[in-house]
Structure 1
Amino acid sequence: MAEGLTLSNKQKQHLKSLAHSLKPVVLLGANGLTEGVMAEIELALNHHELIKVKVPEEDRELREQVYATILAHTHAYRVQVVGKIVTLYKPSPEGKIQLPRN
């Protein structure tokens, strides 16, 4: 994926509508963001393209740091954050999700 690529508002809206019915596939536990959790997120992104990750951290700044770390490692797009759940999108080579043109 090309660095610095962004999603248009139309594309984000499309992904949000697709993500609406999804349940979080990865839940961070007491140990936080471990290598195992990162591997799980990578696997889920590669398989589904669009996933939700629940980060039950109370401190908003720490939660933002966790999101930033996940994005840096997975090269996924941050679609939205609602409460403690971040929605991530990473296109796969198969291109399962068709995004609308800008």
Structure 2
Amino acid sequence: MLTGKQKRFLRAEAHHLDPIFQVGKGGVNEAMLVQITQALRVRELIKVRILDNCEFDKRDVAAELAEGTDAELVQLIGLTVVLYKEAPKRENRRIELPKAK
């Protein structure tokens, strides 16, 4: 679980990122979750764009993405979802989070 300070830090880090995945009218599927999980393993922090033609509620899509990839939902702003998942190996970590108190 991320603290408020850590989420604020991650939002700042994600500000300059472009979305690398899109959720369309078909919603979230298993293949998409596998690809997002692989991207999170490498990048740790990604943005996903929910398209206007998506038939599902944006909050449900964001929760499904976070749960399906076992990642932390950092932010849902507009139709953009920011996800974070710490790299499994310490030497592969790119982002150093502020310490939780």
TM-score (norm 1): 0.84
Distance 1:27 1:59, change over 3 A: closer
Confirm or deny that 1:99 pairs with 2:70. Answer: no
Candidates 76, 79, 84, aligned match of 2:74: 79
Percent of paired sites with the same residue: 36
Residues 47 and 83, structure 2, Cα contact 8 Å, conserved in 1: yes
Q: Note closer, same or farther for the CA distance 1:58–1:30 as it changes in structure 2 (3 Å cut).
A: closer
SS at match of 1:81: strand
Structure 1 pair 60–13 and aligned structure 2 pair: CA distance change class (3 A): farther
* Partner SS for 2:57: helix
CA distance in 1, matches of 2:76, 2:63: 12
Query: Which residue is equivalent to 1:3?
Result: none
Q: Give the superposition deviation at 1:9.
A: 1.4
4+ residue runs of structure 1 moved beyond 4 angstroms? 57-61
Match of 1:21 in 2: 16
Contact 2:47 2:81 in 1 (8 A): yes
Q: Which runs of no fewer than 5 residues in structure 2 stay unpaired?
A: none
Match of residue 37 from structure 1 = 32
Structure 1 contact 26–40 (Cα < 8 Å) conserved: no
What do you get for the CA RMSD once the two structures are aligned?
A: 1.9
Q: Which amino acid aligns with 2:94?
A: K
